[in-house]
Amino acid sequence: MNNLADMLAMDGHGVYVWSSYAITLVVLALNVVQPWLARRRLVNEEARRRRREVK
Amino acid sequence: MNWSFFHKLGSPKWFHDISGRWLPWFAVAGVLLLSVGSVWGLFFAPEDYQQGNSFRIIYIHVPAAFVAQSCYMMLAVAGIVSLVWRMKLADVALKCAAPIGAWMTFVALLTGAIWGKPTWGTYWVWDARLTSMLILLFLYFGIIALGQAISNRETSAKATAVLAIVGVVNIPIIKYSVDWWNTLHQPATFKITEKPAMPVEMWLPLLLMVLGFYALFTVSLLMRMRLEVLRREHKTRWVREVLEKSS
């Protein structure tokens, strides 16, 4: 493996390897980001509700 | 034996406090393990003498399959705890782990299919390992759907717990499918009683990836469970305080 292109091509197996890793990365990220966003939504809703009560 | 931790587990507030302290550590460990493991596995581990570079998919395929199966066993244990001791947190764990388990099964199936093309010449065969993993995915779907279909919380907890416990029979079938039936799938990479069948520079990154997947699974599970606990207890004062502090 002398250059980057060869390294990424992985003797023709690159497309299989990289697509697998990309899909996995997306799924893992999704599983962490989704509950994080949901928690922020809950916090914001609660803050809005509190402001209404104060008024 | 001191059972006070078990009783504390029944307290949602205690769970929320302690899991909040653990989360960052699991997150850091998970990201570190996965970064080191995947760079090592992708660029530094030697090629397989038969499969060439396509074998590098093992570094995500095997960890995903590990987590998919242990997650299901965790569901069954949570189901028993939920049925026997009526512990609400066990039901929360069961409901929150099921989607992650489904995602991990999906990743294992999909990366397996992609790996199958260059090594077996086909994306899919209806052999025992692949079919039993597909059944695992459907079991996860069943538990998720059942939990969402029943609005009464206690009935829903009971029904999903029973399904989780009954479905665990599939786990040994997955595990021994490669020994019991003829298959294209290769046998187990790691066995408890034997040394791994691959050289250390191949299996060490795999071990890091497995640990990293477990750490990230824990992160996702704790985040989902904390959210679910807040939702279920949203009328209590401590939840109000937690939400106020976070905003």
In a domain, A39, yes or no: yes
Q: Which of B38, B111, B246 sits opposite A43 (nearest CB)?
A: B246
* Domain presence at residue B12: no
Residues forming a β-bridge with B210: none
Q: What does the pLDDT look like over A16-34, one tens digit per residue?
A: 999 999 999 999 999 999 9
Question: Inter-chain contact A14–B107, Cβ cutoff 8 Å?
Answer: no
Query: Is residue B5 assigned to a domain?
Result: no
CA A25 – CA B107 distance, rounded (Å): 10
Is residue A44 one of the residues assigned to a domain?
Answer: yes
B8 within 8 A of B87, measured Cβ to Cβ = no
Please name the residue of chain B whose CA is at the shortest distance from the CA of residue A46.
B243
Range of the domain at A39: 22-55
Contacts of B61 in chain A (CB under 8 A): 20
Q: What is the pLDDT of residues B83-106, one digit of tens each?
A: 999 899 999 999 999 999 999 999
Residue A51 forms part of a structural domain: yes
Task: Please give the single-letter amino acid code of residue B70.
Answer: S
Q: Which residue of B has its CA nearest to A31?
A: B220
Q: What is the pLDDT of residue A31?
A: 96
pLDDT tens across B160-201, in order? 999 999 999 999 999 988 888 877 888 887 776 777 778 888
Chain A residue with the nearest C-alpha to that of B111: A20
Q: Is A8 on the interface with B (CB under 8 A)?
A: no
Range of the domain at B165: 20-45+53-246
Confidence of residue B52 (pLDDT cuts 50, 70, 90): confident
Chain-chain contact of A46 with B216 (C-beta, under 8 angstroms):
no
Our count of domains for chain A comes to 1
Instruction: Give the pLDDT of residue A14.
Output: 84
ipTM: 0.89
pLDDT digit string (tens) for B226-236?
Answer: 999 999 998 89
Contact A20 B115 (CB under 8 A): yes
Given CB atoms, is A10 within the 8 Å cutoff of chain B?
yes
Assigned domain for B4 exists: no
Domain CATH for B186: 1.20.120
Residue B209 confidence (pLDDT) above 70: yes
Q: Do the chains contact at A23 and B54, CB–CB below 8 Å?
A: no
Would residue B223 count as lying in a domain?
yes
Could you tell me the CA-to-CA distances from B203 to B8, B45, B99, B206 in Å, in that order?
39, 9, 28, 5
Q: What is the pTM of this model?
A: 0.92
Question: Are the Cβ atoms of B247 and A14 closer than 8 angstroms?
Answer: no
How many domains does chain B contain in total?
Answer: 1
B2 in a domain, yes or no?
no
Q: Does a structural domain hold residue B1?
A: no
| B24 assigned to some structural domain | yes
CA-based nearest distance B78→chain A, Å: 20
Query: Is B146 within 8 Å of B67 (Cβ atoms)?
Result: no
Residues 12-51 of A with CB under 8 A from B: 12-14, 16-17, 19-21, 23-24, 27-28, 30-32, 35-36, 38-39, 42-44, 46-47, 50
Does pLDDT of B9 surpass 70? no
Size of interface A-B (CB pairs under 8 A): 85
Q: Give the minimum alpha-carbon distance from B132 to chain A in angstroms, rounded to a whole number.
A: 21
